[in-house]
Amino acid sequence: MKFYSTRGFGPVSGAEAIVKGLADDGGLFVPEIFPEVSLDDLADMAALEYPERSAYVMSKYLTDFSYEELLEITKKAYARFDGEAAPVTKVDDGLYLLELWHGPTLAFKDIALTVLPYLLTGSKKKLGIDKKTQILVATSGDTGKAALEGFKDVDGVEITVLYPAEGVSDMQKKQMITTEGKNVHVLGVNGNFDDAQTAVKKIFSDPEMKKKFSDLGYDLSSANSINFGRLVPQIAYYFSTYCDLLNAEEIELGQLVNFVVPSGNFGNILAGYYAKRMGLPVQHLIVASNENDVLTDFFSTGRYDAQRPFHKTISPSMDILVSSNLERLVYEIVDRDPKKISDMMSRLKEFGFYNVDEDTLYDKAPEFLGYSCTEGETKDTIDNFYDDYSYLLDPHTAVGVTAFFKYLDEVYDDTTPTVVVSTASPYKFPQSVLEASCHVTEKDPIKAAKRLSKMTSTEIPEAIAGLNDKPILHNKVVDKADIPVSVLSFVGGKK
């Protein structure tokens, strides 16, 4: 399998795409074709365990790895999870939750970020690269901790995470700034997520910065969801969910299902789209957004307009105005024309918007529907869902469930089995969840987690139970303009 940049560069191998992260022309790597998985293959996959299903799906794309190599990777990665990596829970007739938060940091990013370090070191070995790698990550909260956990103490790698100093939850921040590991750096940025992400993209596309890192013995790479190595483990859980529904006799082979995905940078739901293109029977892919509703507008009008107020919400991992992975979908919509993509992305950078012809959008991507919800609606959903099903939703998943209810209101006769992708543990956002479900205000995240546990008779996950006792190891906060210098200093010997 070969990979091309959405803006024309290529071809490269899977290993090269993973090592590079972002293409030299600023584009995102995409596979030359969507490999096929037939219904017979799906039926076979249903008999397998999660690490095997995952290795099977990944082997379709990462052809420079053998299935056995990939299986060794997925086995090691998913052994770090508490039980199953991607269990499906039935909450009502035709309504399921895919729980992707049983990994080390309690959010869905763990699915890919426990795998990526192995893919990266494996790819470097295959390419004969003995230079060290500087991983640069911009985070809206959950990616940061998941990347730090995945890459800490991995040989030949330094990892630097940039987070918006006032734009992540207290728990997310606590998780990040207490991370141990000799190769780990965490930097607060005075700005929002888009500022952090823009700074990272700028460093990647700046030849001078590249040279400076190179002179220090480092190649730059990204663990953000723009890296194809992040995307490919995510495709697997869409297939795995289908297999689980088959095994539980909730669906028949070939039957269509819907997925609802709480979305920010568009990486999670894009993986669902790839699964559909590979042959998974999917009817609708429902893009759920919070008050940052740029994707909702895009899917209803074809206009992507990032010029709008930025809202800080209780689902911070979705507080995003520039959804990087959308570029991969738009690439398919414009019939893989790299020139068109380059033009649109320059337009976005310069003017803050681009347009896709509305008819073309519906013609090429009819499976996508977007819904957004207010903070009040999200809180009500957490409250009602707990009352109705005794199930605690985290605020991101609650955005997904709210979007599903809106979808049902609009398409009221749809009885297609629907899976809402649950992206975080409620304990990752304990103050908001406690307030919404039990109507109790508690500012301290650990205290809130304890009260939530008591009031709902659910258990606090180990990953956060001990956080308060950990020392703060990273407390540096910088202005946007100072990011490049700070990042360089981490590998330049100065700490």
Ligand X SMILES: *Cc1c(COP(=O)(O)O)cnc(C)c1O
Name the residues that contact ligand X, by CB under 6 A.
107-109, 142, 225, 262-268, 317-318, 396, 423-424
Distance set, CA 288 to CA 157, 183, 205, 260, 378 (Å): 35, 36, 31, 7, 11
We find the least distance from the C-beta atom of residue 130 to ligand X, in angstroms, to be 32
Which residue lies nearer to ligand X by CB, 246 or 269? 269
We find the least distance from the C-beta atom of residue 396 to ligand X, in angstroms, to be 4
Euclidean distance between CA atoms 474 and 487, whole angstroms: 13
The closest alpha carbon to 264, from 234, 228, 295, belongs to 295
The full 3-state SS of 28-57, as one line of letters, equals EEEECCCCCCCHHHHHHHCCCCHHHHHHHH
We find the least distance from the C-beta atom of residue 43 to ligand X, in angstroms, to be 29
Euclidean distance between CA atoms 216 and 33, whole angstroms: 37
Beta-carbon contacts of residue 404 (< 8 Å; ≥ 6 apart): 95, 260, 286, 288, 418, 420
Euclidean distance between CA atoms 168 and 394, whole angstroms: 15
Our CA dihedral for 17, 22, 27, 31, rounded to 10 degrees, sits at 20
Which residue lies nearer to ligand X by CB, 13 or 313? 313
In the chain, the amino acid numbered 29 is F
Which residue lies nearer to ligand X by CB, 105 or 121? 105
Sign of CA dihedral 137, 180, 314, 421: positive
Q: Provide the token pair at 55.
A: 């290795």
Euclidean distance between CA atoms 416 and 139, whole angstroms: 34
Euclidean distance between CA atoms 440 and 471, whole angstroms: 28
Which residue shows structure tokens 């365990």?
Answer: 49
Which residue lies nearer to ligand X by CB, 99 or 158? 99
Q: Provide the token pair at 181.
A: 């590991």
Which residue lies nearer to ligand X by CB, 255 or 458? 458
Distance set, CA 349 to CA 224, 305, 307, 397 (Å): 19, 11, 11, 30
Which residue lies nearer to ligand X by CB, 121 or 324? 324
We find the least distance from the C-beta atom of residue 197 to ligand X, in angstroms, to be 11
We find the least distance from the C-beta atom of residue 266 to ligand X, in angstroms, to be 5
Catalytic residue among 60, 109, 145, 201: 109
Euclidean distance between CA atoms 228 and 182, whole angstroms: 26
We find the least distance from the C-beta atom of residue 6 to ligand X, in angstroms, to be 17
DSSP state of 8: S
Task: Count Cβ atoms below 10 Å from residue 438 Cβ, excluding itself.
Answer: 19
We find the least distance from the C-beta atom of residue 46 to ligand X, in angstroms, to be 26
Which residue lies nearer to ligand X by CB, 42 or 421? 421
Is residue 426 within 8 Å of 390, Cβ to Cβ? no
Beta-carbon contacts of residue 212 (< 8 Å; ≥ 6 apart): 488
Does 447 qualify as catalytic in the annotation? no
We find the least distance from the C-beta atom of residue 428 to ligand X, in angstroms, to be 7
Which residue lies nearer to ligand X by CB, 108 or 427? 108
Task: Count Cβ atoms below 10 Å from residue 319 Cβ, excluding itself.
Answer: 23
We find the least distance from the C-beta atom of residue 264 to ligand X, in angstroms, to be 4
Which residue lies nearer to ligand X by CB, 124 or 406? 406
Q: Which residues are catalytic?
A: 109
